[in-house]
């Protein structure tokens, strides 16, 4: 196929993780189970927080938003992947690919910003416990949440619009499970230096700065915990932020495996790491937050038994 501009690209081919039909059947079952567990776990978290007044606190308010984001995140990519595995049809329309890219980029940024806000909430709870209810007022929670959504939407729009300006040549096969930023940049025939420059600048603003704030918050939290005289007090204080710290480590650990490398070195093997942050991490988050949290486990048990606290 000769040179074509982006308006004539009808579709891309999502080749996925393998071309073996037998293995694809196993992958279909595996990803279907993961998707259903992710939906059930995160929706249960949201329902538990909404239905029980004991969980109407800033920490759980942000957790409900994080769980809702994870539901949207996996629903943006996994259903299309399941259809491809089941029907053996790999095509995705050019417009559909850009839409998938937009939601992927936006929701990853939103996840990141929500984790930063939750780190600030834990900082106030441990380092300013007497003023926690005054500082983390409902008004402040909304003022923290709205910029997260606005910045994420703008971040996604910026990269999607820039991607739409690129031209693509004959090779349109994507060795991936969804339309991912690095893969599309590698397929482009036109100059991608502007895209890469904007990706670096916006990435520093929306990922490095929040990560730095999280690290600063946890340094202060550790210092505050070490000042607690009793071992029981230290354990109780640490347990209030252990779940969040685990999720942050999992999120940034898998994300860095994919994006902390030059574009030219990105290859098929990195699609496995992408599956970790795009599919596995959203599934694990509800377990991490519920298994280490007695309040959440109690509310979930009551919810499953049909009991709620209005």
219-265 per-position pLDDT tens digit: 999 898 888 888 887 887 787 788 888 888 888 887 777 766 665 66
Pair 61, 118: CB distance under 8 Å: no
The mean predicted confidence, pLDDT, of the chain is 84
CATH code of the domain occupying 8-304: 1.20.1070.10
Digit-coded pLDDT (tens) for 64-99: 999 999 999 999 989 988 888 888 788 888 889 999
Which pLDDT does position 241 carry in this prediction? 80
| Predicted confidence band of residue 301 (pLDDT cuts 50, 70, 90) | confident
Task: Considering only residues 180 and 149, tell me which one the structure prediction assigns the higher pLDDT.
Answer: 149
> Tokens at residue 69, please?
């984001």
Cα 310 from Cα 307, distance rounded (Å):
10
Of 102, 97, 116, nearest to 73 (Cα)? 102
Cα 227 from Cα 142, distance rounded (Å):
32
Distances, alpha carbon 297 to alpha carbons 49, 258, 290, 308, in Å: 11, 33, 6, 13
Which pLDDT does position 143 carry in this prediction? 95
Positive or negative, the CA dihedral 181, 184, 186, 191 is negative
Cα 64 from Cα 303, distance rounded (Å):
15
| Predicted confidence band of residue 271 (pLDDT cuts 50, 70, 90) | low
User: Comparing 44-48, 130-134, 215-219, 289-293, which segment has the lowest mean pLDDT?
Assistant: 289-293
Which pLDDT does position 1 carry in this prediction? 39
pLDDT higher than 90, residue 136: yes
Task: Considering only residues 182 and 38, tell me which one the structure prediction assigns the higher pLDDT.
Answer: 38
pLDDT higher than 50, residue 3: no
Of 48, 34, 4, nearest to 299 (Cα)? 48
Which residue has tokens 């005289």?
229
Which pLDDT does position 53 carry in this prediction? 81
Which pLDDT does position 72 carry in this prediction? 94
Cα 271 from Cα 190, distance rounded (Å):
24
The number of angstroms, rounded, from the C-alpha of 153 to the middle of its chain's C-alpha atoms is 14
% pLDDT > 90, the chain: 34
Which pLDDT does position 4 carry in this prediction? 42
Report for 114-128, 219-233, 262-276: range of highest mean pLDDT: 114-128
Which pLDDT does position 307 carry in this prediction? 59
pLDDT higher than 90, residue 182: no
Instruction: Read off the pLDDT of each residue in 5-30 and give the average, rounded to a whole number.
Output: 75
> Tokens at residue 84, please?
């491809």
| Predicted confidence band of residue 189 (pLDDT cuts 50, 70, 90) | confident
Domain extent listing, the chain = 8-304
Number of H helices, E strands in the chain: 12, 3
Cα 127 from Cα 144, distance rounded (Å):
19
Its pTM stands at 0.87
Residues 6 or more apart from 13 whose CB is under 8 A from it? 90, 91, 92, 172, 173, 174
Cα 198 from Cα 74, distance rounded (Å):
26
Pair 62, 142: CB distance under 8 Å: no
């Amino acid at each position: 196929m000769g040179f074509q501009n982006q308006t004539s690209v009808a579709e891309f081919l999502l080749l996925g993780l393998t071309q073996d039909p037998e293995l694809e059947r196993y992958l279909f079952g595996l990803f279907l189970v993961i998707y259903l567990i992710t939906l059930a776990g995160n929706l249960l978290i949201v329902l538990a927080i909404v239905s029980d007044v004991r969980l109407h606190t800033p920490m759980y308010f942000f957790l409900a938003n994080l769980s809702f984001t994870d539901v949207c995140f996996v629903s943006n990519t996994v259903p299309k992947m399941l259809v491809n595995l089941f029907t053996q049809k790999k095509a995705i329309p050019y417009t559909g690919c850009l839409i998938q890219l937009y939601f992927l980029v936006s929701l990853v940024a939103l996840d990141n910003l929500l984790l930063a806000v939750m780190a600030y909430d834990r900082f106030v709870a441990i380092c300013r416990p007497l003023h926690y209810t005054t500082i983390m007022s409902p008004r402040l929670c909304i003022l923290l949440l709205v910029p997260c959504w606005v910045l994420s939407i703008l971040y996604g729009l910026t990269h999607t619009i820039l991607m739409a300006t690129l031209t693509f040549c004959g090779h349109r096969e994507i060795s991936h499970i969804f339309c991912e930023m690095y893969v599309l940049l590698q397929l482009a025939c036109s100059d991608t230096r502007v895209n890469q420059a904007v990706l670096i600048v916006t990435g520093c603003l929306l990922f490095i700065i929040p990560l730095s704030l999280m690290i600063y918050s946890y340094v202060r939290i550790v210092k505050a915990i070490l000042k607690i005289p009793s071992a029981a007090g230290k354990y109780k204080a640490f347990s209030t932020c252990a779940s969040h710290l685990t999720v942050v480590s999992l999120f940034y650990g898998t994300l860095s495996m994919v994006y902390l490398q030059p574009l030219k070195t990105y290859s098929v093997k990195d699609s496995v790491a992408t599956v970790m942050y795009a599919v596995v991490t959203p599934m694990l988050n509800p377990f991490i937050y519920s298994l280490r949290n007695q309040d959440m486990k109690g509310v979930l048990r009551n919810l499953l038994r049909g009991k709620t606290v209005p």
